[in-house]
Amino acid sequence: MATPVRIVEVGPRDGLQNEPRTVTPAQRVALVEALVASGLTTVEAGSFVSPKWVPQMAGSDAVLRGLPARDGIRYPVLVPNLKGMEAAVAAGAREVALFVAASESFSRRNINCSIGESFERALPVMEMAKAHGIVVRGYVSCVLGCPYEGEVALPAVASVAERLVGIGCSEVSLGDTIGVGTPARARRMVEAVAKAVPIDRLAIHFHDTRGQALANVLACLEAGISVIDSAAGGLGGCPYAAGASGNLATEDLLYMLDGLGVDTGVDLDRLLDAVAFIAHGLGRPPRSKVYAALRGDRGEGQSGR
């Protein structure tokens, strides 16, 4: 299996939005820079949501302004509505991401509106994106389960993904927000959505709450997925999804892809430097197995990958 894979690094956004300790915009810029230095080409840099709802993402405008434009490097940011879009564009965003849930209850808790209303909010965002030539990614949350409703029907997931593409999203990331999925279900979910949206426009986004993220990724790679979201150091979670833990750790993903012979262009040692940097800023050790093996107490000094 050597199909090229693009990693979408979401640590500076999904990762930091749920950390109890808020890090400064300058630290966030340094994190993004360290991630880019490792070879990652798409790094989600922040979120233009209400700072009353998610204070950790305040100052995302300063983060974007602090990042130098580089050929081939993308810094998408999350926007929930036109107000967020206007602020993102003013800060120089060239790529944004909208997020819609596959479950009504989660939509209400997360963005205080129904699924239908979130599509209404998306329309002026799309208009502004077209006017400015901005690429828009779409996220579907709760694709394998909702913290309030339990199981989510696959047709509901496929329908939201199809609507996101229909309004102009270039790519749709399928989010297991609370990390309840297992490989066979994850694969069935991807196959169901791929009947509505071409698989080369789908990405997967697993939280590792139950230790299934890497296995889920492998199952979805086998189904034809080639874009994978992950967060350095296993950072992450969603403030409106009780039980959501970190995203799949980028270094764990990289280690597996390396073993599969998939070239991502990312240097593991430099990625671990970025992980060490943010762990220091957050005052807690990283959650990933690969970091523990290569840089943790037990593994410090080992040279094998």
Residue nearest ligand HMG, CB atom distance? 175
Q: Measured from the CB of residue 231, what is the shortest distance to ligand HMG in angstroms?
A: 10
Q: Residues 71, 92: contact at Cβ < 8 Å?
A: no
Separation between Cα atoms, residue 93 and residue 65, nearest integer Å:
9
Of the candidate residues 56, 110, 230, 288, the single one contacting ligand HMG (CB under 6 A): 110
The one among 75, 119, 240, 255 contacting ligand HMG by CB under 6 A: 240
160 binds ligand HMG per the rule CB under 6 A? no
49 binding ligand HMG? (CB under 6 A): yes
Asked if 183 and 218 count as a contact pair (C-beta separation under 8 A), the reply is yes
Contact 14, 247 (CB under 8 A): yes
CA distance 271 to 112: 36
Is 142 marked active-site? no
Residues of span 13-42 touching Mg ion by CB under 5 A: 14
Give backbone dihedrals phi and psi of 33, rounded to 5 degrees, phi first.
-60, -40
C-beta of 204: minimal distance to Mg ion in Å? Answer: 11
Q: Does 84 participate in binding ligand HMG (rule CB under 6 A)?
A: yes
Quick check: 80 binds ligand HMG (CB under 6 A)? yes
Contact window for ligand HMG (CB under 6 A) among 25-33, 108-116, 270-278, 285-293 = 108-116
For every residue of 205-235, DSSP letters joined together read: EEB-TTS-HHHHHHHHHHTT--EEEEBGGG-
Which member of 27, 38, 42, 47 binds ligand HMG (CB under 6 A)?
47
Identify what 83 binds: ligand HMG, Mg ion, none; CB under 5 to 8 Å per kind: ligand HMG
Q: What is the nearest approach in angstroms of ligand HMG to the Cβ of residue 300?
A: 32
Residue 39: name its binding partner from Mg ion, ligand HMG, none (Cβ under 5 to 8 Å by kind).
none
Q: Which contacts (CB < 8 Å, 24+ apart) does range 218-223 have?
A: 218/183, 218/256, 219/183, 219/184, 219/186, 219/187, 220/186, 220/187, 220/190, 221/1, 221/3, 221/5, 221/260, 222/1, 222/187, 223/187, 223/190, 223/191, 223/194, 223/199
- Beta-sheet pairing, 227-230 with 202-206: parallel
Distance CA 128, CA 106 (A): 26
Q: Between 196 and 238, name the residue whose CB sits nearer to ligand HMG.
A: 238
Return the residue of 75, 119, 139, 255 that touches ligand HMG, per CB under 6 A.
139
CA triple 144-271-15, angle to 5 deg: 40
Q: How far is the CB of 210 from Mg ion (least distance, A)?
A: 15
- Could you tell me how many residues of this chain bind ligand HMG (CB under 6 A)? 25
- Which does residue 84 touch among ligand HMG, Mg ion, none (CB within 5 to 8 A, set by kind)? ligand HMG
For ligand HMG, the closer of residues 174 and 268 by Cβ is 174
* CA distance to 65, 67, 136, 233, 279, per residue, from 59 (Å): 10, 13, 21, 22, 20
Contacts to Mg ion by CB under 5 A = 14
Positions marked active-site: 238
Contacts to ligand HMG by CB under 6 A = 14, 17, 47-50, 53-54, 78, 80-81, 83-84, 99, 110-112, 139, 141, 175, 177, 205, 238-240
